[in-house]
Amino acid sequence: MARRVTSRRVWVSTGAAWFFGFVIFLPILWMVLTSFKTELEAFAMPPTFLFFHWTTENYATVQGRSDYVHHALNSIIVAGASTLLALLIAIPAAWSMAFAPSKRTKDILLWMLSTKMMPSVGVLVPIYLIYRDFGLLDTRGGLVAILCLGNLPIVIWMLFTYFKEIPKDILEAARMDGATIGRELIYVLTPMAIPGLASTLLLNFILAWNEAFWTLNLSTLDAAPLTVFIASYSSPEGLFWAKLSAASTLAIAPIIILGWFTQRQLVRGLTFGAVK
């Protein structure tokens, strides 16, 4: 029997969807609201929701105390460069594994994924020592390298699944039609792979932007991205909830805006291959 969609059901499920959506969004909303409160109101009990004295003084303090633009620039450079570098390495790797697999391709893929199963903290000391001895601590180059390596397995996996979906027949048809490898790449493969490349790029950029473990441990000031900027408000002189919230809001704003405008690509990327 076909499932009946009654209007009551639609109302109930729509209501439930909004409810859960709101629950998930609540922490972020609360953070944004808190960033506009005074420090006193920020931890008032019972908490105030919308009716409090709105102020932007936290933003002014945050910008005055530490240089937001400097950290934001670091985030953009580190996340952007590590993403591009990862794609540069991952495209040929995924390519050859998808179109010219060998007996060991599956093993290599699994091995790459297995590196993500180990907790990062397990290699913190060796990596830290290597970075210290090579003078990579608190450098953008150092962060780019570690973030690129950390995300590489996921990038290769994503691209591999995309490339795998491109039917071999189409490439052979292009060869029969007289396309050289270069033209096959430009006219046939790239246009077909662009949606996959775009969502991989976006997801990797977001992962790199939010990465906190390595950025916190391997950078202090010069190369420190926004994660370090947020963390600097949570420690020594006690908790300043309002300022911490202001810093966090500033830090996540760019990525939320980016995510908002690219949500179609992102959803497509994450569900790709689930439904033919």
Partner 1 sequence: MGQITLQRVRKSFGPVNIIKDANLDIENGSFVVFVGPSGCGKTTLLRLIAGLEDVSGGQILIDGRNVVDVPPAKRGLSMVFQSYALYPHMSVRGNIAFGLKMAGLPRPEIERKVEAAAATLNLTPYLDRKPRELSGGQRQRVAIGRAIVREPKAFLFDEPLSNLDAALRVQMRLEVTKLQKQLGTTAVYVTHDQVEAMTMADKIVVLNAGRIEQFGSPIELYERPANLFVAGFIGSPKMNFVPGDAAGEPGAATLGVRPEHLKIGKEGEGWPGTVSVAEHLGSDTFLYVEAGKLGMLTARCIGEFSLKAGDHVWLSPDPARLHRFEKDGSVIRR
- Contact status, residue 212 vs residue 251, Cβ threshold 8 Å: no
Interface stretch with partner 1, choices 45-53, 54-62, 117-125, 182-190 (CB under 8 A): 182-190
Alpha carbon distance 105, 100 (integer Å): 9
Q: How far is the CB of 189 from partner 1 (least distance, A)?
A: 10
Q: Write b or e for each residue in 27-36: b if 16 or more Cβ atoms lie within 10 A of its Cβ, otherwise e.
A: eeeebebbbb
Q: Which of 67, 107, 172, 222 binds partner 1 (CB under 8 A)?
A: 172
192 binds partner 1 (CB under 8 A): yes
Q: How far is CA 110 from CA 101, 105, 115, 157, in A?
A: 14, 9, 9, 10
Amino acid identity of 10? V
The site for partner 1, by CB under 8 A, has a size of 16
- Half-sphere exposure in the Cβ direction for 270 (13 Å, CA): 8
* Residue 179 or 258 with smaller CB distance to partner 1: 179
Q: Which of 24, 121, 126, 169 binds partner 1 (CB under 8 A)?
A: 169
177 binds partner 1 (CB under 8 A): yes
DSSP 3-state percent helix, strand, coil across the chain (nearest 5): 75, 0, 25
Q: How far is the CB of 50 from partner 1 (least distance, A)?
A: 48
175 binds partner 1 (CB under 8 A): yes
* Residue 166 or 255 with smaller CB distance to partner 1: 166
135 binds partner 1 (CB under 8 A): no
Which pair of tokens denotes residue 47?
């908490």
Interface stretch with partner 1, choices 89-97, 110-118, 168-176, 217-225 (CB under 8 A): 168-176
Cα torsion 206, 152, 200, 144: sign:
positive
187 binds partner 1 (CB under 8 A): yes
Q: Which of 17, 173, 257, 270 binds partner 1 (CB under 8 A)?
A: 173
Q: What is the largest CA-CA distance in the chain?
A: 74
Q: How far is the CB of 161 from partner 1 (least distance, A)?
A: 17
- Chain contacts with partner 1 (rule: CB under 8 A): 167, 169-170, 172-179, 183, 187-188, 191-192
